[in-house]
Amino acid sequence: MTWMAGVDEAGRGPCLGPLVVAAFALPQTDLELLVENGVDDSKQLDPDERRRVADWLKSEGAERGWRMQVHISSAQDVDLAMQVSNLTSHEIDIFALLLDAVIGGAGDLGGGVLALDACHTDAHRFGELVASRLDSWPWAGWKIDSRHRHDETNPAVSAASVLAKVERDEQVRTLEAELEVPIGSGYPSDAKTREALSTLVAGDEPWEHLRWGWATIAEAWKASHGSAVPLRPLDGRFRPGQQRLSM
């Protein structure tokens, strides 16, 4: 049996909240089921549709043996990763981590395709970098297909994009409820997010769920304090975030 594994992220650009990456794998003979049940690029679905699709993926996947995992990288994780490398390198590590977890070296599967929504200007190079971080790559019978906007054309990547987006939205809404201040989507272009920033940078240090290294946060901090935004303290170890088995 030939498999298809898709990986995508949500939350690369926001100035607050987590970066979420999801991996989703299924036999290629089941791909048509995704299309028939409305699985699409998360950006093409409204929040209710995304939630319905995510719930269906989990319930149907439990019956059919599909594999999926979600990785949550907090704003602090993102800041610390950018101090020691860069955001793309951090995402490459997470993509490889999830593929190792979902496919597991492909020992019990018959081969297939690792379909990546590339987070690098050079999509082919992105695939090579992910491969370099996989455990015991190359895997017999497997190949990597790394493309830009892959969530628009590959149903498995679309499924991963939905799982990642739904998880990130839930994380942001939880933060908003705890804070009791509307924070919007977290993107710098969101008026609610920008309005909240003056409150979120008012303390002795920025709110912990802001990405302190983002230019938007630096500007808000300087406007409030008249000084450069502080750096997250490096504590001597890299924390890759939380990884949760979705099923």
The predicted-structure confidence for 89-146, as pLDDT tens digits, reads as follows 999 999 999 999 999 866 678 899 999 999 999 999 999 999 999 999 999 999 999 9
24 and 86 belong to one structural domain = yes
Structural domain containing residue 79: 3-170
Is omega for the bond preceding 138 within 30 degrees of 0, making it cis?
Answer: yes
39 found inside a domain: yes
In whole angstroms, what is the distance from residue 169 CA to residue 137 CA?
Answer: 33
Position 244 scores a pLDDT of 39
Predicted structure pTM score: 0.93
211 found inside a domain: yes
* Overall number of domains in the chain: 2
In whole angstroms, what is the distance from residue 183 CA to residue 123 CA?
Answer: 33
137 and 27 belong to one structural domain = yes
Q: What is the CATH number of the domain that holds 45?
A: 3.30.420.10
213 found inside a domain: yes
For 166, phi then psi, to 5°, come to -60, -45
Tokens of 165: 């987006």
137 and 192 belong to one structural domain = no
Position 234 scores a pLDDT of 74
The predicted-structure confidence for 16-30, as pLDDT tens digits, reads as follows 999 999 999 999 999
Where residue 1 falls among pLDDT bands split at 50, 70, 90?
confident
When pLDDT is averaged across residues 160-180 and rounded to a whole number, the result is 98
